[in-house]
């Protein structure tokens, strides 16, 4: 079967004809190009092993050992994204960009479906290339030279958890004392693979616009967030047995839907280290 890249619509592309257990240099280049153009690469009918998952990730860079997620037994490189039938909270329900709180944010994450509910549990992605492109000219001019602060403290720190949420998330998220990351990034970045401009703020980890006072900054962020949450920028990915999604954190938002009460959902995630981000020209 020949390799084919097919647009998924508003966000992402489906890549067919690649076996993720044994990728060539040409395959890796093609995936990088897809990330730099579409933001997410989706794969179907894969039978990737944990070893293959690790091998694939290492072809894109150093693996980021997650500070807060439970690791998969015998595979510390793989984070477990789990919701048991008795648990109410899921992980990643709010719109966010992984690791924007790091000074050198992660390139992206490779998520593999291991156990799925009968219905539900989809992930929605937003295309941040398109989010930038569809802004009005005045807003583009306003934000082009601005920077924002991002933080992990209010999401993964001890102050983020009530007694109820701590109990429900026990064994899935931990290590609150490690939530000490703060970073500053441009609001509009140049994508490292394609140089395409992308809007780089997100509702979960961005805390302020540095060049504006608190009120103006929060108003601007809310306006940008509202702009991004437009169905014309979204793709809803329906997980199936053998599905894999590789999203680029520099070009997307995502959120996991929590619509499968009483069922188990288990995903394996590896996050790949990235590079320092620069402002779009």
Instruction: State the first-to-last Cα distance of the chain, in angstroms, to the nearest integer.
Output: 40
Nearest residue to 34 via CA among 218, 166, 193 = 193
Candidates 67, 254, 255, 265; catalytic one = 254
Look at residues 55, 61, 68 and name the one whose alpha carbon lies nearest to residue 112: 55
Distances (CA, A) of 143 to 78, 83, 201, 280: 36, 38, 11, 11
Pair 200, 132: CB distance under 8 Å? no
Active site residue 168: no
Dist. CA 106–CA 62, nearest whole Å: 10
Beta bridge partners of 268: 80, 112
Single out the catalytic residue among 53, 67, 96, 235: 96
Catalytic residue, from 53, 191, 268, 269: name it. 269
Task: Give every CB contact of residue 49 below 8 A, 6+ residues apart in sequence.
Answer: 21
Q: Known catalytic residue: 250?
A: no
Contact 33, 25 (CB under 8 A): no
27 is catalytic: no
Q: Is there a catalytic annotation at residue 254?
A: yes
Distance, CA of 54 to CA of 47 (rounded, Å): 14
User: How far apart, in whole angstroms, are the C-alpha atoms of residue 130 and residue 126?
Assistant: 9
Question: Which of these is catalytic: 98, 102, 168, 248?
Answer: 98
The residues that are catalytic are 96, 98, 254, 269
């Amino acid at each position: 079967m020949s390799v084919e890249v097919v647009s998924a619509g508003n966000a992402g592309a489906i890549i067919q004809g690649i076996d993720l257990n044994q990728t060539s240099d040409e395959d890796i280049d093609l995936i990088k190009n897809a990330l730099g153009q579409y933001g997410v690469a989706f794969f179907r009918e894969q039978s990737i092993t944990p070893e293959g998952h690790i091998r694939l990730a290492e072809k894109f860079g150093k693996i980021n050992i997650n500070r807060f997620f439970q690791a998969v037994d015998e595979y510390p490189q793989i984070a477990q994204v789990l919701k048991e039938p008795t648990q109410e909270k899921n992980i990643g329900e709010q719109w966010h960009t992984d690791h924007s709180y790091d000074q050198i944010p992660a390139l992206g994450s490779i998520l593999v479906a291991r156990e799925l509910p009968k219905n539900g549990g989809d992930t929605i992605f937003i295309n941040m290339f398109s989010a930038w492109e569809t802004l009005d000219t005045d807003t583009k001019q306003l934000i082009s030279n601005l920077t924002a602060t991002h933080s992990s403290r209010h999401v993964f720190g001890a102050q983020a958890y009530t007694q109820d949420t701590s109990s429900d998330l026990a064994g899935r998220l931990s290590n609150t004392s490690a939530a000490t990351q703060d970073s500053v990034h441009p609001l509009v970045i140049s994508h490292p693979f394609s140089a395409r401009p992308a809007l780089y703020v997100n509702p979960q980890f961005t805390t302020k616009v540095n060049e504006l006072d608190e009120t103006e900054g929060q108003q601007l962020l809310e306006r940008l967030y509202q702009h991004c949450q437009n169905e014309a920028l979204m793709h809803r990915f329906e997980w199936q047995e053998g599905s894999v999604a590789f999203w680029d954190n520099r070009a997307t938002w995502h959120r996991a839907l929590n619509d499968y009460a009483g069922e188990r959902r288990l995903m394996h995630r590896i996050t790949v280290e990235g590079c320092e981000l620069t402002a779009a020209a």
